[in-house]
């Protein structure tokens, strides 16, 4: 039996694996900047596994951006592809090439989490017949919705929730928004709630409070905050509060009492800080609807490859 190929491609990294017997094999992470297009990256991965393009039974690509039509252009990197050309390159029938939004895959990946692959942030009880929210800062901000269909089956709804307006709830946040607006014009949630957004927030806070911006990367901001630097700590705290506001808004919009999963590569780097931060306050501060958020569980996902797992689930659900 030929294996299938699954891929989870974000703005910075492309993760590939073989999918055989409902599990991942031979996971490999490639840097998107090292390849001109996904076709070359796939060919490189297959060659590393001793496989040719015609040696796979199907392909599911989870991609960062809205999925529609023949031509796909990635939101946060230089890659693009045409479905029919990619299928022909891999000797696949069109029906055997599945292209889904990366947070559709991420949402489906939540169905395969093991207990040790998530940390409790807000306690609560899952309402089994309700949607769950999957939200994650990475190169951008991804948002997905997981719907239970019964009988062990699931449906994930794609969307571009990372591009909604940044939620403002306090005069302090309005000041920071003004500094961001002066630089960006329209301010999306992703403009703050992402890796590059953390540095952008640091610079905005320095502008508002009259500090010199001495740090020059998101990693430096995180490291300084974890080392106890008061300025960097306040930046990271505001980041967590804003992520809480965005996640709470999703719960209200979707009726997502099935829980919230925080994913992506950013937050696990400061998991202990996050657990004690104002995230829960930002999550629940919804005025007259604050009680609605009571009992909605929130977890920080620490699984290594949930997007790849979800791409495999998508292949299973397709058949």
CB 263 within 8 A of CB 10: no
The verdict on whether residue 138 carries a ligand-binding annotation is no
Closest CA to 136 of 109, 154, 173, 111: 109
DSSP assignment letter at 199: H
Q: Which residues contact 3 (CB under 8 A, 6 or more apart)?
A: 18, 19, 20, 25, 55, 56, 57
Helix residue ranges, H only, the chain: 38-48, 83-89, 102-109, 171-184, 195-209, 218-226, 230-254, 271-275, 279-284, 306-318
The verdict on whether residue 262 carries a ligand-binding annotation is no
- Residue bearing tokens 């301010």: 187
3-state secondary structure 87-148: HHHCCCCHHHEEEEEHHHHHHHHHHHCCHHHEEEEECCCCCCCCCEEEEEECCCEEEEEEEE
The verdict on whether residue 159 carries a ligand-binding annotation is no
DSSP assignment letter at 188: B
Q: Say how far apart CA 146 and CA 107 lie, in whole Å.
A: 6
DSSP assignment letter at 164: S
Angle between helices 171-184 and 195-209 (to 10 degrees): 110
Bridge partner residues of 145 (DSSP): 133, 157
The verdict on whether residue 9 carries a ligand-binding annotation is yes
The verdict on whether residue 282 carries a ligand-binding annotation is no
Cβ atoms within 10 Å, residue 33? 11
Q: Which residues contact 112 (CB under 8 A, 6 or more apart)?
A: 306, 309, 310, 313
CB 16 within 8 A of CB 109: no
The verdict on whether residue 312 carries a ligand-binding annotation is no
Which residue ranges make up the annotated binding site for ATP?
Answer: 7-12
Which residue ranges make up the annotated binding site?
Answer: 7-12
């Amino acid at each position: 039996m030929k294996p299938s190929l699954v891929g989870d491609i974000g703005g910075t990294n492309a993760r590939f694996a073989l999918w055989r017997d409902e599990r991942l094999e031979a996971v490999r992470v490639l840097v998107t900047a090292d390849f001109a297009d996904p076709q070359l990256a796939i060919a490189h991965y297959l060659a590393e596994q001793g496989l040719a393009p015609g040696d796979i039974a199907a392909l599911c690509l989870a991609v960062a951006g809205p999925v529609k039509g023949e031509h796909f252009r990635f939101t946060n990197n230089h890659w693009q592809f045409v479905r029919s050309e990619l299928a022909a390159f891999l000797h696949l029938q069109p029906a055997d090439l599945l292209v889904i939004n990366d947070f559709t895959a991420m949402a489906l990946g939540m169905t395969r989490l093991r207990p040790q692959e998530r940390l409790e942030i807000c306690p609560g009880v899952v309402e089994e017949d309700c949607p769950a929210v999957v939200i994650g800062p990475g190169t951008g901000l991804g948002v997905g919705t997981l719907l239970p269909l019964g009988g062990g089956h699931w449906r994930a709804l794609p969307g571009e929730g990372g591009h909604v307006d940044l939620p403002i709830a306090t005069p302090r946040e309005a000041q920071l928004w003004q500094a961001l607006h002066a630089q960006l014009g329209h301010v999306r949630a992703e403009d703050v709630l992402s890796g590059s957004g953390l540095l952008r927030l640091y610079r905005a806070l320095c502008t508002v409070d009259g500090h010199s911006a001495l740090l020059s990367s998101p990693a430096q901001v995180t490291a300084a905050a974890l080392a106890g630097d008061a300025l960097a700590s306040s930046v990271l705290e505001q980041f967590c509060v804003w992520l809480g506001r965005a996640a709470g808004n999703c719960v209200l919009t979707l009726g997502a009492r099935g829980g919230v999963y925080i994913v992506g590569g950013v937050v696990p780097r400061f998991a202990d800080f996050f657990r004690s931060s104002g995230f829960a306050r930002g999550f629940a501060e919804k005025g007259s609807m604050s009680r609605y958020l009571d009992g909605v569980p929130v977890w920080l996902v620490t699984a290594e490859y949930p997007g790849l797992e979800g791409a495999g689930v998508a292949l299973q659900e397709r058949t």
